[in-house]
Amino acid sequence: MRIVCPFCGERELGEFTYLGDAKPVRPEAGASEDEVFDYVYLRDNVAGETNEYWYHGGGCRAWLKVTRNTLTHEISSVEPAAGAGAAKVGA
Smallest distance, Å, CB 77 to Zn ion?
15
Show contacts with another protein in window 9-68 (CB under 8 A): 12, 17, 19, 26, 29-31, 33, 36-37, 39-41, 53, 55, 57, 61-63
- Provide CB contacts within 8 A for 81, sequence distance 6+: 53, 62, 63, 64, 65
CB of 66 to another protein, least distance (A): 12
Please list, in sequence order, all residues whose beta carbon lies within 8 angstroms of the beta carbon of residue 59, skipping any fewer than 6 positions away. 5, 7, 8, 11, 15
Considering only residues 25 through 84, tell me which ones interact with Zn ion, judged by CB under 5 A: 56, 59-60
